[in-house]
Amino acid sequence: MRFFVCLLILIAVTPVFCQPPIPHYEVKRATSPIVIDGKPDDKAWAAAGKIELIFPWDAQTGAKQKTTARLLWDDNYLYVSYECEDEDIVAFHTERDDPTYLDDAVEIFLNPLPSQTGVYFGLEMNARATLYDYIMYKALPSDSMHLFKQFDLQGVKLATSIDGTMNMRGDKDKGWSLEVAIPWSNFEGLSKRPEPGDVWAANINRWDGVEPNRRMSNWSDPVQPRPNPHVPARFGQLLFVR
């Protein structure tokens, strides 16, 4: 009997133990100005560590194209850059809050107060530098997540750089890059501007390809049966340092 009890306990807890660890990243302070032109070639970016996104869902049929992200901060902004290998760049949406996630797009989800998982900010940005931003929230711990699309971040700087021909399906592109600067004032209410030693939670994602050959990649594995990055309990940790 004791053997079967132990076996049942092992089966019950194994899925928790098998989850991949939450990733951590040190967000360094920018030591020189950053010009938001879509090209992360300013001197400050050289000091930033690199995040390479992973591909959690093998059932997806889209190409596994490399995405590298980097983050920096200063007194005014959180900076995020993406470099995306892409042999076929496709993006059609051009208006603020269009469904950019249907295009070739990158995302960052930010939770300035990791002690809670009920509220976080979403930015989804396509290869045309179109921003879809919102707040995700749930009213009760048992409630599902809700999207507050009417929320708009203020003062965001956003640009892309394309190495190829967008929406030309018959040729072979090389890729695209994106830079975004997000003013700290947008997070007032949940957090102050971070100081060295502060920790935020975040996930960084990419939607790539055209249906039916589409693929999502992530920084932190959401551990979901189907592509779904909206799992705040699985966000990685951003540690702000000098």
Instruction: For 44-97, write each residue's pLDDT tens digit.
Output: 999 999 999 999 999 999 999 999 999 999 999 999 999 999 999 999 999 999
CA distance 32 to 43: 7
Assign a CATH topology to domain 20-240: Immunoglobulin-like (2.60.40)
The C-alpha atoms of residue 17 and residue 20 are separated, in whole angstroms, by 8
Q: Label residues 80-112 b or e (16+ Cβ within 10 Å = b).
A: bbbbbbbebbbbbbeeebbebbbbbbbbbbbbb
Contact 105, 92 (CB under 8 A): no
Q: Cα angle at 211 between 104 and 82, to 5 degrees? A: 20
User: Tens digit of pLDDT for each residue in 29-57?
Assistant: 999 999 999 999 999 999 999 999 999 99
Q: In this structure, what token pair is assigned to residue 118?
A: 């009920």
Contact between residue 177 and residue 161 where contact means Cβ atoms under 8 Å apart: yes
pTM confidence score: 0.91
- Counted residue by residue, the chain has a size of 242
pLDDT digits (tens, 9 = 90+) for 196-224: 999 999 999 999 999 999 999 999 999 99
Cα(14)–Cα(184) distance, integer angstroms:
40
